[in-house]
Amino acid sequence: MNPEKEKNHIDLTSRIKDNFKEFSEGQKLIATYLLKHFDKAAFFTAANLGKV
């Protein structure tokens, strides 16, 4: 991963982790998937993420 992509990944994962407790159950499912599968999820549509 190049340095800029790495920074974006850290920024997004930090924001997800910082706000996780405020998410709805559905949002928590998607957030958990994003944290575990960031590289794959980057290419998903919102509809695909909703099916996770």
Return averaged pLDDT per consecutive 10 residues of the chain, 52 residues in all. Answer: 62 92 95 90 85 78
pLDDT score for 16? 95
Residue 50 is predicted with a pLDDT of 80
**21, amino acid identity:** K
pLDDT of residue 6: 61
- Residue 39: closest CA among 15, 14, 11, 5: 5
The length of the chain, given as a count of residues: 52
Contact predicate 16/30, CB 8 Å = no
pTM of full prediction above 0.75: no
